[in-house]
Amino acid sequence: MFNNIFFVPLRKILFGKGMTYAQTIEYLYASQPAFHLVGATAYKPGLDNTYRLMAHLGNPHEQLCTVHIAGTNGKGSTSHLIAAALQAQGYKVGLFTSPHLVDFRERIRISGKMIAEEKVVQFVADNRTFLDELRPSFFETTMALAFWYFAEQQVDIAVIEVGLGGRLDSTNILAPLLTVITNIGIDHTEFLGSTLAQIAQEKAGIMKLHTPCVIGETHPETQEVFLNRAHECEILGEGLETTNCRLWFADQCGYMRKRRKKEVIECQLQGSYQEKNQQTAFVALQVLRNMCGIALSKEAIANGFAQVCTLTGLRGRWEVLSYAPLTICDTGHNGHGIRYVAEQLRHLTSPNPEKGLRGASLHIVLGMVNDKDIDTVLHLLPRDATYYFTQPATSRALPATELLQRWQVLHTASANASTFATALEALAAAQKEATTEDVIFIGGSNYLVGEILSAKFC
């Protein structure tokens, strides 16, 4: 009934006299709709349930000092970068993100360590009667668990990633120190709108009165939305250069230019698209230090960026899984994210006669869910690769045969594409065909990447 990618194997560990951890996770999935499993039917816009749930728990969110992060892409990486720098400074840092790739507990960490299984069991056991009555969404319950846990453990600061959108997202009950919006792209149009401006309006909903905000990437269609919202929140002042301005457009700040000329801050996240997330995180950290009173040294920022995956446990972002052939996975799953992935794949496999490189052949293991802009993704990916179409093990998956058909409509020369029943079969076929000089890429869906990591690279 349940997809084992999304929770740890069914261990029979009994905490006290109640449910096991495995039974607790099964209960959460069975009793409450989870977006990553069933899609749109799990989405519950509005904050009424969240406020009722928080009141039942004693409003733990009001005890937290938080950074609140929204965006179409990059919000997970940016959240981890900010958390890693704060950890490197010595703070006890809560980190709430979604979805997870292998283990449910990836969503809730303190200073890089996942929440203990017994804490998950304790929370559900203590609150099951109320949960059964309220019937919140899976995300609402998971968020409540995170806030309760962070408050109980008395974290110094918590970095909170928005689930979907912003204005009506459950996390928008927070009164944070700082809000961050990484970028705006076309995704989840059934909930957020069909234009960049409409989507920006939803994400701008996390901006709060007199609360500093960092915007990661600007676009002519979205900048006016953010400026208008900043006026409403009284954080713009009379102009962007005035001392009472509390709004920053990160891509208009000087960090990346300074970095190229003088200070090279190494980052453990290797995808070229991560430069934008590093820029956003760097500006956000400067605001936390200079505007919010958070003690933070240059060394902590540098160390946090250099060890972000080690410190926070982040995976699946241009992650090298093996060499000979070079095998890489990435969780980019919409047009905005895939554009940068495709550019890097082309760069990685292009011939370079000056260095004696003939150019590697590219093998792409691809699977997607059915509510994404499939054609845009397929159009952006390199045409001259060999494709191994499959589907992630979730009810939301687009069948591999349909993915192939969509590819054939866009690219008539499609002899270099075939389908496989499972992600592991697709990967095995790619590994069989690839030479040690070639490149294998795995992507198209968080769930596909999680499945491969869970089975082969944990």
Is 64 within 8 Å of 158 (Cβ atoms)?
A: yes
Q: What is the CATH number of domain 319-456?
A: 3.90.190.20
Task: Decide if pLDDT at 80 tops 80.
Answer: yes
Task: Decide if pLDDT at 157 tops 90.
Answer: yes
pLDDT tens digits for range 294-309 = 999 999 999 999 999 9
pLDDT tens digits for range 418-446 = 999 999 999 999 999 999 999 999 999 99
Tell me the domain boundaries of the chain.
44-312, 319-456
pTM > 0.85: yes
Token reading at 187 = 């995704």
Give mean pLDDT, residues 90-106: 96
pLDDT at 170: 94
Fold match between domain 44-312 and domain 319-456: no
pLDDT at 194: 67
pLDDT tens digits for range 372-394 = 789 999 999 998 899 999 999 88
CATH of 44-312 given 3.40.1190.10, 3.40.50.620, 2.60.40.1080, 3.40.640.10:
3.40.1190.10
